[in-house]
Amino acid sequence: MAETILVLEPGDERAQKIARAMSSQTANDILQQLAGGPTSLADIAERLGQPMNTVKYHVGNLLDAGLIAVADTKYSVKGREVKMYSLTNQLLIVAPRQSPVRSLILKYASLFAIVLVATIGIMALGPLFSGLHGMPGAAENVALAVPPSPTVADRQVAGGAEEIMTAKASYAGAIDMGSSTSPDTALAFFLGGILVILVLLCYEAWLWKRK
């Protein structure tokens, strides 16, 4: 038989019945005896050394609380009906009531904070990586623009200086371009994260309404 999961709130009727039934050591001893399999009242009383009326009282409380059940019915030699008791296959969880709406808000507020922090991190680190990416190419352009020797004609020297200035301008433009793409990437990441959060929120709200 499949295990049943039962969630109880503190103070409700079922939780109070369980608390009353489990308040006695005799009741706990009965549960331990039933853990070995279906057992009759007479066998339980004999094993525990307790009067039949005492065992019957606690078994009644455990039945009322839903902790045990009648698993089978047999007949004695004299034709009397003998009930066999066993543990119920269930998992009991006692938890306070919490508003589903409040839970959803807290859950997705945390997700929003994570997306926001990640977006700020992308904006802060984006220009750094863009600058490192553009630096080697610019240095190569500068190196290629240096005149080969001091014996070159004045016109070649002037042309080399002009190429150096052009390379510097290209390097600055590359850095500016890399910096300008960082906010776009961060914005795309932020909007994508918000979209995913909204989709998940709508889906959970839909599931909650169906229950």
Could you state, in order of their start, the residue ranges of all structural domains in the chain? 4-94, 100-210
* Percentage with pLDDT > 70 across the chain: 63
Residues 119-156 have pLDDT tens digits of 888 888 766 666 555 555 544 454 444 445 455 445 55
Q: What is the pLDDT of residue 151?
A: 52
- Quote the CA–CA distance of 49 and 14 in Å, as a whole number: 30
For 4-94, CATH gives: 1.10.10.10
**pLDDT at residue 205 tops 50:** yes
- 158/160 Cα distance (integer angstroms): 5
Statement: residue 167 has pLDDT above 60: no
Pick the most confident of 2-11, 30-39, 107-116: 30-39
Asked whether 45 and 51 are in contact (CB, 8 A), the reply is yes
Whether pLDDT at 33 is above 80: yes
Q: Compare 165 and 150 and report the one with higher pLDDT.
A: 165
Q: Rg of the Cα trace of the chain?
A: 39
With bands split at pLDDT 50, 70 and 90, how would you rate the model's confidence at 197? confident
Whether the per-residue pLDDT at 162 is higher than 50: the answer is: yes
* pTM check: above 0.75: no
Are 134 and 171 contacting, i.e. CB atoms less than 8 angstroms apart? yes
- Comparing 3 with 21, the larger pLDDT belongs to 21
Residue 186: its pLDDT value, please?
79
Give pLDDT, residue 72.
Answer: 92
